Structure 1
């Protein structure tokens, strides 16, 4: 016997989906029955690998991490309106992070007297019958639709996946009443191979745009490229590196969600998250390449009055933002990989006389070389220093030791490590000190709902395994507040159950620094500007901290250590990495830093 649920699983498998992160409920009898059918008929195997998740937030975070690493969509299945609500801030992250994820939720049956298979038979089905269930998430979705029959389910699923994987990529939401998922379907439907529906091919730059941008870059005294998200497509990273090297263009990364430029490139000017952008006021040409918010005007960021500004983005108007604007000469809706290929190609034409601009390019190279050396010297000096009191750990000190331990402890010398960064106020420090170099090697959520990093570590581990690219180690770096947001008990249970070991480094400043920093930004001399985090109700205090490693150990058998002294850091990281690599279990290292 086959049902709409059978069609659901088969369509996803035919479309290349490999994993579903699930939290089952009373709306899923047909799905559970069909999974058992698959096991019986296929020597215990199911069409999709099912990852049972005791937290819907973790499920969607894991699906996003999987999509970020593989570039392919994953599926999340949740329970009616309450499961949809429990996706929580992970919905925001999947939207802003442009993660191609298909979310499916069942819904309360519409019949109540046994008129259909699947009619209401439990009391809570009246409570769970929301007037407009998709409205819970609709404004964050690229597409929402109700599956009303198994006869059309395949087409609706394929349309949802097609939209999710077309730029700007993002989450989609399908839902169905229980009667629809329980509907019997003909066996012939299960024998038909469902063809995949391709994503939309993104447009290229117009010839006018190519000429305008290349001419401006060649003529500029000090051009600058500002990016953030181009590295969501790893193929863009070497192209942007080539363009920067060829024309001596400095590159800034502003609030990145993926590594878009190698951290060791001589023309890299750093990662910025808040405040004044270095070099912006000097640039006479600025290209904004797949960047959500290139700068905040209120923090003394203003390009030169005569600067020529070009925007190249999959969505240059940022249509999903309530407000966004950049005064630009040209807004170009284009794929970053295609646009960079076009610009590099234009530089190889006979019309470009490189001999005529060699002197100018050399001046630019000299300036960038000097900025690069000064930046590296500042970073390395910071890594040698503890906090001002002389004994408390500083974040740069921790990160330098962690980077070196990952390099020494892996066969690839750190080249095949995936880094997941979610430490809010320390995010820029993590990007700059870890200085990852490989495309697809560092990610953030792309949104602002904290807690992503724990579930994403599971998804990244599974994604790396599916991709088969030889990833050796997954490392997450987070804060103590973020760790608690991430539903750690559910995360570490899942990690042990499904064999996804990772190292989690917790920077413990005993609270949430970001709200305090935001307050100080508005009230720099206010009466709260020098108050402790605990006085401001954003601190956890010195004596009420959670046992972060203990939580992970209790929930998932993780190895855990707490570090407070500088001489301990190196050896603890080395041991933690061995635990992950050799024992194949999670490790948590809590690093105590200055209290907020």
Structure 2
């Protein structure tokens, strides 16, 4: 962290508003998609303060609506694989983020979602309420707007918490299964000074990597290799470009049809000889093994029937989709991890057969 005054990192003091932004840049967040309001003065002052002290910050993109902010963050994650950040205005901005948060949670998109909180104090403290909406926008439970879509939530209580809270929000969002986290930022706290000695350090809480046990991968490979009528159903692609190519080779070599039911991302090119369309019905009726790759609902139980002896292998960051109350699809084997990594492990196991 540099400064025109040649201050040492431990001597630099930022407002908490500036420290939140600086910490995000330090751990790898390059952009913040933001729609501002009355809670943002300490954020804007923090931008100016950090610029004056030559401190690196994420590039703040001013968004005309929070729906667009969430959509941009969602899309930029798909393009880069990097956790994103969105900052909104109190309860009204957070309410507009709710639809995007639902999408991000369903699609395993890591987003650190933040919004200001209406000032608690009516007077006597920097950042206290100054306009009528300071009363009108207060909620008893603001986080409830996105709680069902969030992996973790917290309200910043003291400025010195900034490095820990930002790191935790980032690490949890980036851990498998990935998804949104939410942090509430009270205006009074954002106005307070924050020590700068930990702002530019490395990430202190690393995301949790997850991979299936090798024994489960081998068991799945045995089922798939010995099946007479296997089929793969995919909805959200293969996770990585490397896995996309490896998956195409795998199904070609073994002659396994791939159905892309209600596809959001392609797992296989539509010109590939093993692309079997979008309707699983012709394939499920005779299938003795089904591999489900990151599908919320791989078929409709009211329409599609499986053979009693059919084995089902579920693959994905959260193969059983535990966030959803009702999802009762069979899972004889569940392979949990980054989709691309699991596909590569399964392909290696199939190669050995």
- What's the TM-score once normalised by structure 2's chain length? 0.90
Superimposed CA distance per residue, residues 133-178 of structure 1 (whole angstroms, 9 cap, x where no aligned partner): 1011111111111111121111111111111111111111101211
Match of 2:222 among 209, 215, 229: 215
Q: How do 1:29-428 and structure 2 match up within 5 A?
A: 29-42=41-54, 47-114=57-124, 116-190=125-199, 192-195=200-203, 197-207=205-215, 209-272=216-279, 277-298=281-302, 300-349=303-352, 352=353
CA contact (8 A) 2:176 2:337 kept: no
Structure 1 gap segments, 5+ residues each: 353-596
Larger radius of gyration: 1
Aligned-CA RMSD value:
2.0
In structure 2, relative to structure 1, the CA distance for the partners of 1:257 and 1:26 (3 Å cut) is same
Structure-2 change in CA distance of 1:88 and 1:138 (3 Å): closer
Alpha-carbon deviation of 1:253? 1.3
Question: Hey, what's the Cα distance between the residues in 1 that align with 2:240 and 2:168?
Answer: 22
Q: 1:334 to 1:32 in 2, by over 3 A?
A: closer
Which structure has more relative contact order (CA 8 Å, sep 6+)? It is: 2
**Structure 1 stretch displaced more, 289-298 or 83-92:** 83-92
1:17 aligns with 2:29: yes
Task: Give, in whole Å, the separation in 2 of the partners of 1:82 and 1:73.
Answer: 24
Q: For residue 33 of structure 2, give the secondary structure of its aligned residue in structure 1.
A: strand
State the Cα distance separating 1:242 from its structure 2 match: 2.3
Cα contact 1:251–1:269 (8 A) shared by 2: yes
* Cα gap change, 1:197 to 1:270, in 2 (>3 Å): farther
Displacement after TM superposition at 1:212 (Å): 2.6
**Runs of 4+ in structure 1 displaced over 6 angstroms?**
none
- In the alignment, the residues of structure 2 paired with residue 285 and residue 176 of structure 1 have an alpha-carbon distance, to the nearest angstrom, of 50
Which sits farther off after the overlay, 103-112 or 325-334?
A: 325-334
The aligned residue for residue 40 of structure 2 is 28
Distance 1:319 1:251 in 2: 25
Q: Structure 1 residues 90, 216: closer, same or farther in 2, change over 3 A?
A: same
Q: 1:86 to 1:108 in 2, by over 3 A?
A: same
Change (3 A) 1:102 1:136: same
CA distance, structure 1, for counterparts of residue 283 and residue 198 of structure 2: 60
Q: 1:332: Cα distance to partner?
A: 3.2
Are residues 346 and 91 of structure 1, via their aligned partners in 2, closer, same or farther at CA, if it must alter by over 3 Å?
closer
Query: Is this contact kept in 2: 1:205–1:339, CA < 8 A?
Result: no
How far did residue 348 of structure 1 move?
4.0
Tell me the TM-score normalised to structure 1 length: 0.55
Whether the aligned pair in 1 keeps the contact of 2:154 and 2:184 (CA below 8 Å) is: yes
C-alpha displacement of 1:262 = 2.2
Give, in angstroms, the shift of residue 57 of structure 1: 1.1
Instruction: Give the superposition deviation at 1:308.
Output: 2.0
Question: Aligned in 2, Cα 1:304/1:181: closer, same or farther, shift over 3 Å?
Answer: same
Structure with greater helix share of residues: 1
Separation in 2 of the partners of 1:210 and 1:64?
30
For 2:296 and 2:196, how far apart are their aligned partners in 1?
Answer: 48
Q: Is the 8 A contact 1:106 1:175 kept in 2?
A: yes
How far is 1:291 from its partner?
1.4
SS of match in other structure, 1:212: helix
Gaps of 5+ in 2: 1-12
Matched residue count: 341
Contact 2:163 2:198 in 1 (8 A): no
Aligned mates of 2:101, 2:350 — CA distance in 1 = 42
Offset of residue 204 of structure 1 = 2.2
Per mean C-alpha deviation after superposition, the further-off stretch among 180-189 and 340-349 is 340-349
What is the CA-CA distance between 1:46 and the residue it aligns to? 6.2
